[in-house]
Chains A and B, each alone.
Chain A
């Protein structure tokens, strides 16, 4: 079975500082991995995804994540935080399905990012 662990339910950084949100996964077969962002009172928006192509994945808003199989990790980074990055971030894992669609998407507990001046 797949699972995702996000280390740190709250992360606080200064504006302009590096953002690092940690995600470790467990999967018996090569997974697909996603990062979603949720702004207050809104739905989930896809930031980026890993689907077995390049291990370094670039997403929207300057975020990127690196798939490291040896560490079973998919940490999210951004070189310089902006006030508008304050939100909740979710890591998720799924498997591709050869029967034609997705298997269930399993989410981590989320990390709330605060950015202060």
Chain B
């Protein structure tokens, strides 16, 4: 059963620490998204990649957030330094090349608390 895998599932960290969240997209998918979910803002798109190249990261605070795809099986979202306002659920999602299907699948999320 193919699925998007995110780690860690839960993370509690102190303000100022670096946080790295990882995502393994479904094998064969070429588009990867990072979303952040909070009570106040709902689901916000932070960044997305196609064929490992960033297409849009306009939703991401550039001073502390960075997103990369070191290879086709790994996407990372890093926060340095972390702040309490970064507390949220971070979702990764992946989608196939359009000729292979048209469903975007979400991971279970990384639940981040910054104290």
**Using a CB–CB distance below 8 Å, which chain A residues touch chain B?**
32, 34, 36, 42-46, 49, 51, 90, 94, 96-102, 104-110
Report if B50 contacts A (CB, 8 A): yes
A44 and B91 in contact (CB under 8 A), knowing A51-B102, A99-B50? yes
Q: Which residues of chain B have C-beta atoms less than 8 A from A44's C-beta?
A: 91, 93, 106
| A109 / chain B contacts, CB cutoff of 8 Å | 42
Task: Tell me the interface secondary structure of chain B in the complex.
Answer: strand
Does the CB pair A101–B50 fall under 8 Å?
Answer: yes
Contact of A102 among B35, B98, B108, B109 (CB under 8 A): B98
CA distance A34 to B93 in the complex (A): 14
Partner of B109 from the list A43, A90, A94 (CB cut-off 8 Å) is A43
Most buried by B among A46, A94, A104, A108: A104
Asked if residues B104 and A107 are in contact (CB atoms below 8 Å), the reply is: no
Within 8 A of A (CB), among B49-98: 50-51, 55-56, 91, 93, 95-98
Complex CA distance for A108 and B56, rounded to whole angstroms: 19
CA distance A100 to B98 in the complex (A): 5
